[in-house]
């Protein structure tokens, strides 16, 4: 209020307060929705030994995610007497919080689908191995793109340029490497952060499209074919 939102009214403050409160409560509900059934299944002996390891790892990730969220919010409330920047959470902690959430979500989904859907026994051909490698590489690229989005959000980098595909009147902005040392630009220069996010987004869509086209050349089960097609559809929608 002292640094930025001088004209904020009490109802406006209540709105953002309830958004934050709902997010925290929802996170705690998610934790309970996971931990309580897991404890029940463990107690009743429904879990195999390997599955117990997965359950403990996911439980640890749930707790770590909450701790990381607190650590992130804390960075936006710290006094910075030497800084004239507007109050905001650390983009590094925001990216860590988002990355941890993506890992937790993916691991939960992978564990659940592994139990619900039996794994297809396919011949390990060279094409199938290459498809799996491409899929893993595409996954890593999408994950990196999402993390770069957290840096865009943390720095309000989306407000710097609002034209596409050019940034302003140029393909490559003049202030792309304005910070020193050069490495700082990747994480702290809003122009560079937005530029990187654009490039990674285009690369992700290209990789997903290439994965889909390559999969069309390989005889795959219906479920796998549906998954690849859905991936392309969601990438275009995104």
Share of the chain above pLDDT 90, in %: 73
Q: What is the pTM of this model?
A: 0.86
Question: Rounded to 5 degrees, what are φ and ψ at 85?
Answer: -75, 160
Displacement of CA 109 from its chain's centroid (Å): 14
Cα(144)–Cα(201) distance, integer angstroms: 9
| Domain boundary residue, one of 117, 139, 154 | 117
Q: Note whether 137 and 222 are same-domain residues.
A: yes
The answer, yes or no, to whether the previous bond of 165 is cis (omega within 30 of 0) is yes
The arithmetic mean of pLDDT across residues 227-238, rounded, is 95
pLDDT given for residue 81 in this prediction: 64
pLDDT given for residue 1 in this prediction: 78
pLDDT given for residue 85 in this prediction: 66
Model confidence pLDDT, tens digit, residues 48-73: 999 999 999 999 999 999 999 999 98
Model confidence pLDDT, tens digit, residues 79-96: 766 665 677 889 999 999
Q: How many residues does the chain have?
A: 238
Model confidence pLDDT, tens digit, residues 18-35: 999 999 999 999 999 999
| Domain boundary residue, one of 92, 117, 142 | 117
Q: Note whether 9 and 112 are same-domain residues.
A: yes
Give burial (CB, 10 Å; 0-12/13-18/19+) of 4: exposed
Tokens of 74: 């804390």
Model confidence pLDDT, tens digit, residues 11-22: 999 999 999 999
| Domain boundary residue, one of 94, 117, 140 | 117
Q: Note whether 66 and 78 are same-domain residues.
A: yes
């Amino acid at each position: 209020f002292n640094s930025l939102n001088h004209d904020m009214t009490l109802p406006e403050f209540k709105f953002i307060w309830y958004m934050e409160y709902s997010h925290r409560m929802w996170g705690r509900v998610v934790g309970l929705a996971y931990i309580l059934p897991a404890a029940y299944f463990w107690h009743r002996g429904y879990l195999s030994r390997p599955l117990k390891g997965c359950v403990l790892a996911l439980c640890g990730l749930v707790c770590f995610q909450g701790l990381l969220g607190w650590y992130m919010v804390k960075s936006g409330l710290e006094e910075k007497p030497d800084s004239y920047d507007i109050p905001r959470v650390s983009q590094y902690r925001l990216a860590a919080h988002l990355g941890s959430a993506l890992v937790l979500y993916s691991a939960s989904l992978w564990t659940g689908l592994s139990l619900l859907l039996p794994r297809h026994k396919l011949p390990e051909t060279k094409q199938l191995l290459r498809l799996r490698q491409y899929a893993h590489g595409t996954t890593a690229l999408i994950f990196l793109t999402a993390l770069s989005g957290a840096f865009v959000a943390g720095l309000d980098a989306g407000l710097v340029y609002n034209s596409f595909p050019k940034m302003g009147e140029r393909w490559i902005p003049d202030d792309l490497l304005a910070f020193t040392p050069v490495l700082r630009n990747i994480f702290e220069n809003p122009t560079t952060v937005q530029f990187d996010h654009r490039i990674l987004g285009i690369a992700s869509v290209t990789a997903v499209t290439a994965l889909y086209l390559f999969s069309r050349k390989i005889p795959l089960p219906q479920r796998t074919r549906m998954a690849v097609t859905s991936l392309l559809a969601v990438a275009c929608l995104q």
